[in-house]
Each structure stands twice: as structure tokens, then as C-alpha cells.
Amino acid sequence: MYNSLSREKELFVPINGGHVGMYVCGPTVYSNVHLGNIRTFMSFDVIYRYLKYLGYKVRYIRNITDVGHLVGDVDDGEDKIAKRARLENIEPMEVVQKYTNGFHKMMRIINNLEPSIEPRATGNILEQIEMVEQIIKNGFAYEKNGSVYFNTKKFASKYKSYGQLSGRVIDDLLVETRELKNQAEKKHPADFAIWMKADDRHLMKWKSKWSVGFPGWHLECSVMSTKYLGKHFDIHGGGNDLKFPHHENEVAQNIGACGCAPAKYWLHSNMLLMNGRKMAKSDGNTISAEELFSGKSEHVSKGYSPMAVRFFMLMAHYRSTLDLSDQALLAAEKGYKKLMDANKYLQQIDHVIPDTTSEIDEQINNGISAVFDELDDDFNTPKALARMFELVPVINSYKDDKPLFRDIAKETVERLKKCFSDVLFDIFGLEDESGDSGSGMGDILDGIMNLVLDLRQNARSNKDWPTADKIRDELAAQKIIIKDGKDGSSWSFN
Ligand code: AMP
Ligand code: ZN
């Protein structure tokens, strides 16, 4: 896996044998999750699924940020959740509940697995206060007017690692830091708040020895990862926009508190773009998942199903940007259907030819291995998909009843079946939306549709055009398209 810390691909060696501890920064629940957020959580869902598939026992922590994340991602300003509470005239915790529910619903729709633990920042205030105390005790933080700041300069001169993750140089931060109200309280502009004194208007605040206040945004992740995964754990993930300041400061806090770096491997997923710009809640360049599913948006010509959207995201490597466009979504939808159809057919092949080994077996077995080789290479989902597409003609040759390979071994067919169902469903987390999820409903639908097509054929033979057209039009209204060919009619979902 590609480790952002070393900027290299590294062999993954877990700290504790077959166990993996993975922490991923979760959403700040002050508005509906947008597709950019969904992309990041889906990228880590696939990583989680693949690690589990490989047999690791994974403890996956994904937090909910419900306090401390201020507007503009800086140390001064209104809390994003409190601001929303003020605008909607409700309690901050109502905001948190509402958007956490929405987030969970979306994770289910897109078929992401639940994490092992989903801690909240507000549920870990005592632990955050303890970490602030520890950092002060170790000499890397100071109190000023009731707020506590991390002494970045002092930390950086002791541990040369500050800036290693993000590539930032501490003196450059001088220039970059905006004129903030509390900058005067800091010893150095690169210092950041780990505890903030709340003013009277502030809605979410807790008692501490320094002031009635609230924790800095970066602190929660240092605390919750340590609490559930220990001081040194395997993987820390998040979107690459979090590298600085969030993750850089998280590392500093952990080292400042306990002298050890939190994660062995840092994984960062890249941004979802729209019209070439980062999709972001804060500047309105977003399309909601609901708009995308329903097609009610100026950015798309029609609605796309959740699995077509999931497939669209799988078609890009998690470290590459992905630009959302109608054209790319159409291509993804087509690809998704093609692979699902091939798989459906593959799972029905009942191979009766006795075991042999031929060149074809070797070719297919190599094809299967190639799929997993791509996944082993930093979770390369687009390349793994490409390898699967290379195997589709083999499957379709059976479909056309012209099997290319009569002497393929039963064992090979079984391996191919397992490869397709494991990768598509267990690792990529796709679902078959065509209606046949193994419940037999697909067969029933096929039966009904054959009857309808027969009735329509009879009407046509009797030159009863109004009936034939009515059947076609009514089905079209249900998004079922009939194609009339010389060998009869066939149907498909639009
Ligand atoms: P937030 O709710 O803003 O704290 O973000 C939650 C997660 O979504 C973080 O890991 C962000 O890096 C990620 N994220 C935010 N915007 C995008 C985007 N346009 N594309 C991909 N991930 C994003
Ligand atoms: Zn975080």
C-alpha cells in the first residue's frame, strides 16, 4: 500500500500478526453528506473489505465529528454544528442526530459496511482533556487566557518530523496563517489550539481547569484512535484534504503526548471533482446523492442507481482524482450492467466436461490471479475491473452457446465463479440491482416477461397493433424496453 508518510508503496506488515487496526476520519455532521464524502468512505470501505477478505481480523474505527470543527477549518470562528443549530433554531445535538442518521442511511444505500466502532468527539471529552494535560506536562503546549495551544515550534525542533506527512515547512506557515483573532495569544503562528475557551454565546462547552471551553478539532482523532487501537496502530485514513493541518497536527499531538507516532501507514484518498473543481459543501459545488439517484439536477441527464454510482467510483483508483460527469456515469452504468450480466450467466454454467488442463485453463487461471494482483497493488480497483472485463468474453461465449473452450476444467470454471462473486460482492461491495439476488425473483420476473412477450407476439400476428403498442408503452413507463428482432422480441431494463 502507498504510505503517504514515506511517499512510497510499502509491503503491508501488520503490527500484530493477523490483526489490523484502522482509523478513518469520519464526517462532520452539520449537513447532508455529499458525494465527495461518500467517495472517501467508499474507498476505505473497499480497503476494509479487502483486508477482511485476505483473512485479517480488522478493527475499523470511523468517528463522528460533532464538536470542535470550526468554520474555515481554523482555530477561530464558529463551530460548524453550532452554526447550523443557530440557523435551524434547534439544539446542536439535534443537528448531530439528524445528519448522523442521514449519513448512516447513505452508507447503507451505497452498501458500505459499518465500522467496528463509531465514537463521537463529544463522547470523549474527558479523554481529550487528559491528553491536553499530558501534552502540557511533556512541555509541548501552553495555556493562554483559558485556551491551550500546541507549541509547534518547540515540538518541531525536538522532533524533526513535523511537516513530514504534509510536506509543509514550518516557517512557510508564518506567511500562510491568516489574521485570526486569537493569533496574538500564540507564541508562533503555526501553533494550534488543542483547547479553546468558549465565549458566552458558545453552545457546546465543558468545564476544564483552563476554562469552560471545548477541544480543538484535531484532538478528537488523536484521542479516539489511541483509545480503541492503542498508541501505535496499523492504518490511518482520510481524504487528502485532511493531510494538513488535521493529520499533521494529529501526529504532533500523539507524539507530544506519548512519544510515539500513531499510525504505521497513512492512506489518503483523493478528491471527487465536479467540473474540474473539488466538490465541497462549503462552496456549493456539490450534487447530492439523492439528486444523482433521481436525476433531478442540472448536472446529469438522468438518474443513476446507487450501484452504478458505486461502480463509477470503483473505476478510479482511490489516489486519483475523479471528475463527476454525465458521460462518465453513463459509461459506468453500462460497465456495471455488463459485468453483472456476465456474472449472472457465469454462476449458472453447469460444467459437465471432465477435468482436464489445457492452455485455456492456464489463461483463465492467470486472468484470475491478475485480478488479485491488481488489488494487492495498493487496492487498484480500476485495473482489477479491467482484468475482469478481459474474462467476460470467455463467459459470453457460453452464453451464445458457442463456448470457446470446450475442454475447460470444471475446477477452473468454479474458480472463475468464485473470483467473480467474491470480488464483485464481497470486496467491491456491489449488489445486483437487476432483481435477482438469489431469491428466485429474477426467474419469476423472466417467466412473467416471457408470458407478456408471447401475448404481444400473438397480438402482432393478429395485426392487433393497438394491443401490441399498449404493452410496449406500458412496459416502457416501467423502464422496461422491448426490442423486436428477427428471432422474436427481447426485453431489458432501461
Ligand atoms: P468532512 O465532513 O468535511 O469532515 O469530510 C469528511 C471526509 O470526506 C473527509 O475524509 C474529507 O477528506 C472527505 N471529503 C471532503 N470533500 C471531499 C471530496 N470532494 N472528495 C472526496 N472526499 C472528500
Ligand atoms: Zn480526524
The residue type of 36 is G
Task: Specify the pLDDT at position 154.
Answer: 95
CA dihedral 447, 451, 452, 458 (to 10 degrees): 160
The minimum-distance atom of ligand 1 relative to the CA of 278 is 19
Q: Is the distance from the beta carbon of residue 96 to the nearest atom of ligand 1 less than 6 Å?
A: no
Task: Specify the pLDDT at position 180.
Answer: 53
> Taking a C-beta distance cutoff of 8 angstroms, is the pair 35, 324 a contact?
yes
Question: Is residue 29 pLDDT above 70, yes or no?
Answer: yes
- Mean pLDDT over 180-208 rounds to 86
Which residues, in sequence order, are CB contacts of 433 under 8 Å at separation 6+? 305, 306, 307, 340
Percent share of the chain, pLDDT over 70: 90
Q: What whole-number distance in Å separates Cα of residue 253 and Cα of residue 54?
A: 33
Q: Going by CATH, does the domain composed of 273-427 fall within 2.60.120.10? A: no
Q: What whole-number distance in Å separates Cα of residue 66 and Cα of residue 82?
A: 9
From the centroid of its chain, how far is CA 332?
Answer: 17
Q: Decide which of 168 and 256 is more confident.
A: 256
Q: What whole-number distance in Å separates Cα of residue 226 and Cα of residue 231?
A: 5
Q: Is the distance from the beta carbon of residue 73 to the nearest atom of ligand 1 less than 6 Å?
A: no
Residue among 40, 84, 321 whose CB has most ligand 1 atoms within 8 A, to mutate = 40
Q: Is the distance from the beta carbon of residue 241 to the nearest atom of ligand 1 less than 6 Å?
A: yes
Q: Decide which of 374 and 34 is more confident.
A: 374
Measured in Å, residue 3 CA sits from the centre of ligand 1 at: 19
Q: Please name which ligand lies nearest the alpha carbon of 273.
A: 1
CB burial class (10 A; 0-12, 13-18, 19+) of residue 98?
middle
Measured in Å, residue 466 CA sits from the centre of ligand 1 at: 54
Q: Which of 101-105, 161-165, 208-212, 301-305 has the lowest mean pLDDT?
A: 161-165
**pLDDT band (50, 70, 90) for residue 432:** very high
Q: Decide which of 443 and 256 is more confident.
A: 256
Measured in Å, residue 22 CA sits from the centre of ligand 2 at: 12
Q: Please name which ligand lies nearest the alpha carbon of 216.
A: 2
Q: At what angle do helices 465-477 and 441-461 cross, to 10 degrees?
A: 150
- Mean pLDDT over 353-371 rounds to 84
Task: Specify the pLDDT at position 168.
Answer: 85
Going by C-alpha positions, the residue among 378, 334, 288, 345 that lies closest to residue 50 is: 378
SS (H, E, C) 199-240: CCCCCCCEECCCCEEEECHHHHHHHHHHHHHCCCEEEEEEEH
CB-hemisphere CA count at 13 Å for 346? 23
Q: Is the distance from the beta carbon of residue 100 to the nearest atom of ligand 1 less than 6 Å?
A: no
Task: Specify the pLDDT at position 478.
Answer: 85
Question: Is residue 100 pLDDT above 90, yes or no?
Answer: yes
- Mean pLDDT over 217-229 rounds to 96
**pLDDT band (50, 70, 90) for residue 439:** very low
Q: Decide which of 71 and 340 is more confident.
A: 340
> Taking a C-beta distance cutoff of 8 angstroms, is the pair 60, 116 a contact?
yes
> Taking a C-beta distance cutoff of 8 angstroms, is the pair 416, 346 a contact?
yes
Q: What value does the mean pLDDT of the chain take?
A: 89
Q: Is the distance from the beta carbon of residue 239 to the nearest atom of ligand 1 less than 6 Å?
A: yes
Q: Which of 38-42, 222-226, 351-355, 485-489 has the lowest mean pLDDT?
A: 351-355
Q: Say if strands 141-144 and 147-150 run parallel, antiparallel, or are unpaired.
A: antiparallel
For residue 142, give the H/E element and its range: strand 141-144
Measured in Å, residue 40 CA sits from the centre of ligand 1 at: 6
Q: Which of 232-236, 242-246, 296-300, 441-445 has the lowest mean pLDDT?
A: 441-445
The minimum-distance atom of ligand 1 relative to the CA of 30 is 2
- Mean pLDDT over 118-126 rounds to 96
Structural domain boundaries in the chain: 2-269, 273-427, 441-493
Instruction: Express each pLDDT in 364-418 by its tens digit.
Output: 999 999 999 999 999 999 999 999 999 999 888 877 766 666 667 888 889 999 9
Going by C-alpha positions, the residue among 180, 198, 186 that lies closest to residue 76 is: 180
DSSP H stretches of helix in 63-206? 80-88, 92-109, 125-137, 152-158, 170-176
Give domain 2-269's CATH architecture: 3-Layer(aba) Sandwich (3.40)
Task: Specify the pLDDT at position 419.
Answer: 98
Task: Specify the pLDDT at position 446.
Answer: 74
Task: Specify the pLDDT at position 132.
Answer: 98
What sign has the CA pseudo-torsion 149, 155, 156, 157? positive
Task: Specify the pLDDT at position 250.
Answer: 96
The minimum-distance atom of ligand 1 relative to the CA of 24 is 10
For residue 20, give the H/E element and its range: strand 19-24
Q: Which of 152-161, 283-292, 422-431 has the lowest mean pLDDT?
A: 283-292
> Taking a C-beta distance cutoff of 8 angstroms, is the pair 199, 70 a contact?
no
- Mean pLDDT over 56-77 rounds to 83
> Taking a C-beta distance cutoff of 8 angstroms, is the pair 80, 43 a contact?
no
